[in-house]
Structure 1
Amino acid sequence: MLRLTGVLFAIAANGLFATSDTLVKLLSLRYPIFQIIAMQAGVACIVVGIVIWRDKACRLSAVRNPKMLIGRGFLAGIGTVSGFYAFSLLPLADVYAITFGSPLVVTVAAAWLLGERTGPARWGAILVGFSGILIMVQPGYTALSLGHLAAFLNVFVGAGVILIMRTIGSQENRAIMVAAVMAGQLTASLPGMYLSHAPAWSDLGLVTLSGFVMVSAQFLMLEALRRAPASSVAPMQYTKLVWALPIGLFVFGDEPKPHVLAGAFVVIGSVLYLLAHGRRAENRMAQLRRSGAERVEPSVQPQCLEGKKLG
């Protein structure tokens, strides 16, 4: 039941992320992305401040991994700038489809940096996944725009975020982790704030809603990861494509591109295979640990009894 609740939270979080991204795309028609980031993060900081005060997590001693949190904030700043820029130039579905490649980069990075074993089957799935990205962008047939490059940058930033969250996700206070994201976004918005101008009164509601929805999605995703394993939560990011296709069509007039959808399904299939393969490996390791404990227990028990008699 707890796992199911976590999955439902993840679906809701990704729905809110898609809603926030839609509002960002609407605002990008009238404001520079740096100003949108600052306005959105400013609203979100109010919510985060309230949660930190309620959780009594404002003490420095509440931070257990300061360097990792700074890295999380740094990546959040870069990822938000690149993501918002990609949204301003490309359809939502195109950006989502490209960024679905982040788990593939995580698998490669884990093999090289963390020494995780990656067999031929997993390497094959990784190559298939990257071929799906090539199907989406069609190099040589369509010109790559700065929006595509920004989306590709987001792939690597997303991979870095996943690796950090795998390390500290269960150790840090949820409000502290979201605060690191907000701090990174505000810092990233500073270089371009000279381009900003006073928002129209009619847009203040969109700005407020965007910030509130975004920070709510952050908290929901953290809660999902606490209730269910990452292998169950991660695939739920693909539900964003379900939201992006009708939003793109009916709100922005972006018709779905067959090659983007085909490539997206190839990437999704390869990532799901990697997740299933990893889950089977974890189950095998757990069974080996249990069988090893059962073999050791009979030989250990008499020694414990003998020790009690001698004492």
Structure 2
Amino acid sequence: MQPSPERRAERIGVIWLLADMTLISAMAALVKMEGAQYPAIQLVFLRSVVGVVIILPLVWRHRREIRHTRHTGRHIFRITCNALALTGNFAALAALPLALVSAIGFTRPLVVMLLAVLLLGERISTIRWLGAALGLAGVLVMVAPGHVPLDPGLAAAFASVLFGSLAVVQTRALKDENTTVLMVFYTVGLSLISAVPAAMTWQPVQPADWAPLLAIGILAQLGQYCFLRAYQTAQANVLAPFGYLSIIFATATGYLLFGEVPRLTTMAGVLVILLSLHITRLLDNRRG
């Protein structure tokens, strides 16, 4: 029996999302290597500028669609949400342990599901809610955040999750928009927002570092394209649980490139996440 068009679209969307995770993992490895020498905001600015240069030919080719977009307000809202999410993430990283920030970040799929219902009218099955909750439990097993006092850093971390989730939902709402238009608004907007703080903290770039710094921008732009195609192809509530897989990509990258041996709790959490995804898809396919 051939899968329905909706099922095929979901599978293609997942493939696009996995491609995004692969590219972003490679980019994260380069950022980790270069981050010891250059401020994070400088890396963000260089990444976005490289992205602008890469998409210039596409900007010219699709200039009519960009000029005549009917969703300017929604684009601005999405970019604003992205900017607030990045700001919150930077503030949280400065105030909280990295493991805790990562744990809070992986609550995003649950928030995306809720916002997809509230803002997009998408329907979410009980099976997917249970699968997402089980995946979240796996993340908590891995990072074991423990007791955390309420402070501005914690608020910033949750604000990052909220605004990042809003940006994801807005991407889904713009599924009929030209992908190049989405990339242009995001990339140019990020460049403008990061320009001033990057200039204030700028460190001279050594000649040997230009190649990896440029690669960061290239990988980020390719990853963004895959991410946009994923959410234009499949519904947000279908893709959201697969967001948990990014921690597996991060764990593998850390082990292979930096010798970061995962703890037993990390491996246990990975198994829980994989189990949750498998059970969710298996039961959901039976329902369909």
Structure 1, 5-14 or 147-156: larger mean CA deviation: 147-156
Distance 1:17 1:204, change over 3 A: same
5 Å-filtered alignment, 1:1-311, equals 3=9, 6-57=13-64, 59-61=66-68, 63-81=69-87, 90=98, 99-111=105-117, 128-140=134-146, 152-170=158-176, 172-193=177-198, 194-227=200-233, 233-234=239-240, 237-263=243-269, 266=272
Deviation at 1:152, TM superposition (A): 4.9
Distance 1:90 1:248, change over 3 A: farther
| TM-score, reference length from structure 1 | 0.70
Distance 1:65 1:159, change over 3 A: same
Structure 1, 245-254 or 213-222: larger mean CA deviation: 245-254
Letter in 2 for 1:176: V
Deviations 1:47-102 (A, max 9, x none): 122211122346521x22111111211222233455578889747xx876653431
What's the secondary structure of 2:70's corresponding residue? coil
What's the secondary structure of 1:199's corresponding residue? coil
Deviation at 1:174, TM superposition (A): 0.9
Deviation at 1:212, TM superposition (A): 0.9
CA RMSD of aligned residues (A): 4.0
Taking the aligned partners of 2:156 and 2:258, their CA distance within structure 1 comes to 20
Letter in 2 for 1:19: A
The unaligned stretches of length 5 or more in structure 2 are none
Letter in 2 for 1:216: L
Contact 2:25 2:253 in 1 (8 A): no
Deviation at 1:35, TM superposition (A): 0.6
What's the secondary structure of 1:254's corresponding residue? coil
Deviation at 1:39, TM superposition (A): 0.7
Deviations 1:125-165 (A, max 9, x none): 56555544543443436899999877655433332122112
What's the secondary structure of 1:104's corresponding residue? helix
Distance 1:152 1:212, change over 3 A: same
Contact 2:104 2:161 in 1 (8 A): yes
The unaligned stretches of length 5 or more in structure 1 are 284-311
Contact 1:77 1:186 in 2 (8 A): no
| Residue identity (%) | 27
Larger Rg: 1
Taking the aligned partners of 2:91 and 2:27, their CA distance within structure 1 comes to 14
Letter in 2 for 1:158: G
Deviation at 1:255, TM superposition (A): 2.2
Taking the aligned partners of 1:27 and 1:85, their CA distance within structure 2 comes to 20
Letter in 2 for 1:79: A
Letter in 1 for 2:51: A
Contact 1:98 1:136 in 2 (8 A): no
What's the secondary structure of 2:205's corresponding residue? coil
What's the secondary structure of 1:251's corresponding residue? helix
Taking the aligned partners of 2:277 and 2:243, their CA distance within structure 1 comes to 11
